Chain A
Amino acid sequence: MKNCLVVDDSKVIRKVARHILESLDLSVTEAVDGQDALIQCEAAAPDVVLLDWNMPVMSGMEFLRALETAKVTARPKIIFCTTENGISHIKAAVDAGADEYVMKPFDRETLESKLSIVGVI
């Protein structure tokens, strides 16, 4: 079973995402910010990271840059999942190495589609 790390400082978002991801036969782990996510990725790299942009301690973009030099066994696919819906943010995320981008609010179909595009499901 493939694993998705959900990185979001909102407990509600993590819960909703977990519910959808588990229904898509993925195992789910959670992180509350970028730093927490980085530690978890170094311990055991997930197949995919669902990544919020604005978080305390370490933002999604800071996490993405830190991941470049982190000691991870395999680079996970990165799907940004954020309320930053402007084209400049989307381009910046892709330039920084994000594989996909989900504009909140999201639903099951959107997540399923993006996970399929990155080849996780």
Chain B
Amino acid sequence: MPSYESSPQGGARIFSALLASRTGQILSESRAWRMETALKPVMRAYGVSGIDELAAKLLANRDSGLEDAVINALLNNESSFFRDLQIFDMLNRQILPSIYANRKDRVLRIWSAGCSTGQEAYSLAIQFRNDMARWRGWHIEILATDISTAAIDQARSGIFTQMDVQRGLSVGDLIKWFEPVGDDWHASPELRRMIEFRTDNLFEPRAPSGEYDLLLCRNVLLYFTPERRQDVLRLLARHSHQQSVLLLGAGETVIGHSEDFTPHPEFRGSYGRRPVVTDPAEETVRRAG
């Protein structure tokens, strides 16, 4: 780590390095710029007045609680219900009906990777609950993972602020699926039961198991270096099958980052596994044993 004493920017550099080593995320200029604001609650909690003093405290004590607090504060947990409405519209009109038609064992597995405070996973649960007549008899699993313990704790609680529930959530779904708790809103047990929230690191994954039919990793890759993006896409490929659908955030792509995924031929803006092309020569050798 760079010396805290050596530079007035030492604190910021130390925290950037900590974030990169713990999460693989690189701080963009805009996020670096608001680092001090993001860390203010941590500074207050630890009784220090500046970012460099906080870095010094971290280096002196190697306090894992402080490290976690810093990481949680620096991660961008911005999320909203039904973020990018057209994606959810495509899910509803095309992707889910296709899975419904093709998945004969009536098992649907979804992974929301980098789920932040859970709005994406809850949006999916709402979609299924609103269309329960169709999905009755299906086993639907929604795994939602994020590296931020604070984000996962909030997601698991199902409690959202008034501001949160007004971003993307229709008033009809608010009334139907949330109960007021003081000034906040609590997701119904029916929704919460559908989702398994797990703290997990995309570079040391423990939560995902087997293959998922639908993988959402939206607005996650943009925080990583090109090499790290490749690692994440390789992980997603390992947990997908030939019919799986991958959804990334607007402005994110697999092109140039993955040999495994390719733009989906049917669902515009989504990705599918690259078709397996058998080399005739290899096939001859394989058959010949």
Contact = CB atoms under 8 A, between A and B. Distances in A.
B180 A86 contact: yes
A91 B175 contact: yes
Interface string A76-117: 000000000111001100100011111100110110011011
A: interface residue count bin: 20 to 34
A114 B162 CA distance: 14
Given A113-B166, A114-B166, A98 B80 contact: no
Contacts of B171: 90, 94, 98-101
Nearest to B178: A87
B174 interface: yes
A103 B162 contact: yes
A113 B179 CA distance: 21
Contact of B163 (A86, A99, A107, A114): A107
Interface residues of B, number: 15
Contacts of B183: 85
B175 A87 contact: yes
Contacts of A102: 166
Contacts of A90: 171, 174-175
A15 B179 CA distance: 32
A52 B173 CA distance: 22
Contacts of B80: 109, 113
Given A85-B183, A90-B171, A103-B166, 19 more contacts: A85-B162, A87-B179, A90-B174, A94-B171, A94-B172, A99-B171, A100-B170, A100-B171, A101-B171, A101-B174, A103-B162, A106-B166, A107-B163, A110-B166, A110-B167, A113-B166, A116-B85, A117-B168, A117-B170
Chain A to chain B: the 10 pairs with minimum beta-carbon distance, closest first:
A101-B171, A110-B166, A113-B167, A87-B180, A117-B170, A100-B171, A113-B168, A103-B162, A109-B167, A94-B171
Interface of B: 80, 85, 162-163, 166-168, 170-172, 174-175, 179-180, 183
